[in-house]
Amino acid sequence: MRFVNVDADGGLSLQTAPDPKPGPGELLIDVRASGVNRADLMQRAGLYPPPPGASLVLGLECAGLVLAVGEGVLGWKVGDRVCALLAGGGYASRVVCDARVCLPIPDGLSFVEGAAILEVFATAWLNLKEEGALRPGERVLIWAAASGVGTAALQLCARWGNPAWAVASGPKLPTCLSLGAVGATDRQAGDVAADLRVFSQGQGVDVILDPVGASALDLNLRALAAGGRLVLIGLMGGREANIDLGRVLMKRLRIQGSTLRARSAAEKGRLLAAMQADLWPSFVDGSLRPILDRAVPVERAETAHTRMASDQSVGKIVLTWGDTVGGA
């Protein structure tokens, strides 16, 4: 197999290794596309090591064809189109993973689109519906709303009937509005706090999905309604901040940290099964869709990382592996 290696000097190169073999309960996937996530950049920089036992190779999701089925696996056969949510190893032409973290690529979607679904929609679903305990009609604030997770969250809020306000850079705001945001603020030139007061009619928002962290904390706590929930999914704006505990206490706020990567295969499998039952028909009929920034041949993985680090991308960046006919 081929895989993207992080070299000693921090660069990326394609290397080769023996093909892995599936064990009991596992699938071997012939990878056609691999999703790129900001976590990959963090791991490459030495800031986000994989969980114990996970592959050291970058990559949290992939899509391709089932190449072999391990002992005890039911419901899969060689040749099935599959997408997988991984703890690591997705930047490889062959991936072995627990069958519970795999789903069929929705009918009508390509391998590239299949590689752009699981990480972002699972993150949005988990942190809005479960960690954020989002209820019908509640208002939502989504930071980095033009990111992969943000574009998924906007679509889910629109689907569920939850008014959502988007924060993103100015050129990305039309995309956010097209995906169902009821309004949007330019994070560089706008006044988020003032816009949220108008959006919420002075009552505050109920759930905030936040990959920013420290630099947005005070604004977030001020913007939440009584009983509001801040779900922290990233630290792009820093990891340390002062906090007014009196505000947390008096408004009965909840601050929930959440990561997906280190959760067990059983927990991920439960989440994916619920998503498949609810969302897969909407991917098939086109009412939900992964938002693609671009697909980049794996030989140009460095270009993909540079694009993501620039904060210019809208939606997902995906690496492609050779022939993607039959779903490209």
One domain, residues 182 and 206: yes
* Domain membership flag for residue 16: yes
* Domain membership flag for residue 126: no
One domain, residues 200 and 168: yes
262-272 pLDDT per residue, tens? 999 999 999 99
* Domain membership flag for residue 284: yes
pTM of the model: 0.95
One domain, residues 275 and 163: no
* Domain membership flag for residue 127: no
* Domain membership flag for residue 243: yes
One domain, residues 276 and 308: yes
**Into how many domains does the chain fold?**
2
* Domain membership flag for residue 73: yes
One domain, residues 114 and 12: yes
Residue 322: predicted pLDDT: 85
Domain membership of residue 234 as a residue range: 132-257
- Given 233, 257, 281, the domain boundary residue is 257
Q: Which residues of 157-169 are buried (b: 16+ CB within 10 A; e: fewer)?
A: bbebebbbbbbbb
We report the CATH number of the domain holding residue 53 as 3.90.180.10
- Given 224, 242, 257, the domain boundary residue is 257
* Domain membership flag for residue 326: no
* Domain membership flag for residue 291: yes
One domain, residues 146 and 217: yes
17-53 pLDDT per residue, tens? 999 999 999 999 999 999 999 999 999 999 999 999 9
One domain, residues 243 and 274: no
**3-class DSSP string for the chain:** CEEEEECCCCCEEEEECCCCCCCCCEEEEEEEEEEECHHHHHHHCCCCCCCCCCCCCCCCEEEEEEEEECCCCCCCCCCCEEEEECCCCCCECEEEEEHHHEEECCCCCCHHHHCCCHHHHHHHHHHHHHCCCCCCCCCEEECCCCEHHHHHHHHHHHHHCCCEEEEECHHHHHHHHHCCCCEEEECCCCCHHHHHHHHCCCCCEEEEEECCCHHHHHHHHHHEEEEEEEEECCCCCCCCCCCCHHHHHHCCCEEEECCCCCCCHHHHHHHHHHHHHHHHHHHHCCCCCCCEEEEEEHHHHHHHHHHHHCCCCCEEEEEECCCCCCCC
One domain, residues 113 and 178: no
Residue 323: predicted pLDDT: 60
Residue 328: predicted pLDDT: 43
Q: Which ranges of the chain have pLDDT less than 70?
A: 323-328
Residue 325: predicted pLDDT: 42
Compute and round to an integer the Cα radius of gyration of the chain: 20
One domain, residues 115 and 19: yes
One domain, residues 267 and 253: no
Residue 211: predicted pLDDT: 96
We report the CATH number of the domain holding residue 150 as 3.40.50.720
One domain, residues 104 and 142: no
- Given 205, 234, 257, the domain boundary residue is 257
One domain, residues 200 and 244: yes
